[in-house]
Amino acid sequence: MSAPTSAWDQYWRDGRLASCGGEGGATYQPLIADGWRRFFGCISDTARILDVCSGNGAVARLAAEVASGRRIRVTIDAVDAADLHPAGTSPGDEMIRYSPRTPAEHLPFPDASFDAIVGQYAIEYTELERTLAELKRVSRPAARIRFVTHAAGSIVVQGAREQLADVERLIQTGVFETAEALVRAAASGSLAGDTGEARDKFLRALQLLRDAEATAGDLRMYRNVGGVIVHAIQHQPQLGPAPVLDKIAETASAIKAHHGRLDAMCRAALDAPRARARRLGQTPVGQTVHPGPLDSIRRRVVRLGHRQRNGRMNAASAASAAAE
């Protein structure tokens, strides 16, 4: 994914595997993971696999797990523009080589290096034309390709838009700025009137936060933010201002990073006109594997999450979840 990467640096630093379709340290949900297992079940012994925009290796670990189960050896290069923090162990981990700070648009591999190139919620975050040129360069003539991308009409992206609106309303309450101002006013020994004014502004922001809960989809986020900040301020007499300010800044940073990831997802998701504009076609609903050469990736791209015309969700939609 393209710079800036700070929001994703923080996300992967928390040890998560899946960026979407999994919770915390979990890998992708079964219906998504099964598609990957079928794909990797056709990979040959000694193959080289490139996982683009890999994050902490959810797809790479599935590839290694399948290879271990088949008792074959493959080499998996997992690259991402963000900083990575893969944690824990799983079967075949020794087959994976992680390369953080490695954008898909600038791959450090020789021509014709890979037998398979994969990515889950990956290439749509990059400068697509440059990425496809690089992937074509490093792929072997018979390379197998599988990408899963965000679709603009998917329930994943619809949920992200709703979460994004919640986050924006939270930020607009001014709760972070007024909390910081109150802590600084109390610490500086300002006149009682100045401290009282800062307290009143913070309480108004806190009330806006509580009012926004009435229409929020993510009540836990609102309540956690308010609870953490109030708890920190209440302990200022015992702790002093520095740790309280640090906690406010940490909470604000986490919320703004969450906003950045949601905004990036919504911007990256492909609708039909954008796909055509980028010379990418749409596969039939539910089709998730494209084993052909990379040249045809401009004509076909895997897109999960669309609703079928009869109103039922396809398997990928049913398995998908919001960003966090």
Q: How do residues 284-307 score in pLDDT, each as one tens digit?
A: 322 233 444 555 444 344 443 333
Does this model's pTM top 0.85? My answer is no
For each of the domains in the chain, give its residue range(s) and CATH number, in order of start: 6-154+269-319 (3.40.50.150), 159-267 (1.20.120)
Can you give the pLDDT at residue 136? 94
Question: Consecutive 10-residue runs of the chain (324 residues): their mean pLDDT?
Answer: 62 56 52 90 97 93 95 96 83 93 95 96 88 95 90 85 93 96 88 80 94 87 93 94 95 91 86 57 34 46 35 28 24
Opening angle at CA 319, ends 317 and 324, nearest 5:
100
All residues at 6 or more sequence positions from 163 whose CB lies less than 8 Å from its CB, including other chains: 217, 218, 258, 262, 322, 323
Q: How far apart are CA 157 and CA 266, in angstroms?
A: 6
All residues at 6 or more sequence positions from 289 whose CB lies less than 8 Å from its CB, including other chains: 35, 38, 39, 146, 302
Can you give the pLDDT at residue 22? 43
Phi, psi dihedrals of residue 9, rounded to the nearest 5°: -55, -45
Which pairs with CB-CB distance under 8 Å and at least 24 residues apart come from 211-217?
212/166, 212/169, 212/170, 212/173, 216/166, 216/169, 217/162, 217/163, 217/166
pLDDT digits (tens, 9 = 90+) for 31-88: 788 999 999 999 999 999 999 999 999 999 999 999 999 999 999 999 999 888 787 7
Can you give the pLDDT at residue 314? 31
Q: Tell me if the bond preceding 4 is cis, omega within 30° of 0.
A: yes
Kindly report the length of the chain: 324
Opening angle at CA 25, ends 24 and 28, nearest 5:
85
Can you give the pLDDT at residue 218? 84
Tokens of 119: 């990515």
